[in-house]
């Protein structure tokens, strides 16, 4: 995982929305433990569609990764890249 200075430089290259910044911050706080989209919805004031869109854009920019949830294979766990 990147340190704070490297992260700031990397984020300046990507133009992130408010929702993407908030979600990325939560994922960085949780670390490698990860978060499911349902857990994210309880922590952010955004609509479910906004959370899904932000996660999709962060994945495309390779700022986060997703892994299958071993407790419920229907869900994904998102972790910082």
**pLDDT single digits (tens) 26-78:** 999 998 889 999 999 999 999 999 999 999 999 999 999 999 999 989 999 99
Angstrom distance (rounded) from CA 64 to CA 24:
8
pTM for this one? 0.83
Q: Report the distance separating Cα 49 and Cα 38, nearest Å.
A: 12
Res. 2: pLDDT tops 70: no
Instruction: Say whether 9 sits in a helix, a strand or coil.
Output: helix
* Distance, CA of 57 to CA of 59 (rounded, Å): 5
Domains and CATH numbers, the chain: 4-80 (1.10.10.10)
DSSP per residue, 11-66 = HHHS---HHHHHHHHHHHHHGGG-B-HHHHHHHSSS-HHHHHHHHHHHHHTTSEEE
């Amino acid at each position: 995982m990147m340190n704070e200075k490297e992260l700031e430089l990397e984020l300046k290259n990507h133009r992130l929305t408010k929702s993407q910044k908030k979600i990325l911050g939560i994922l960085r706080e949780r670390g490698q433990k990860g978060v499911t989209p349902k857990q994210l919805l309880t922590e952010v004031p955004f609509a479910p569609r906004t959370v899904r869109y932000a996660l999709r854009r962060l994945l495309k920019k390779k700022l986060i990764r997703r892994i299958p949830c071993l407790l419920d294979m229907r869900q994904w766990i998102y972790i910082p890249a």
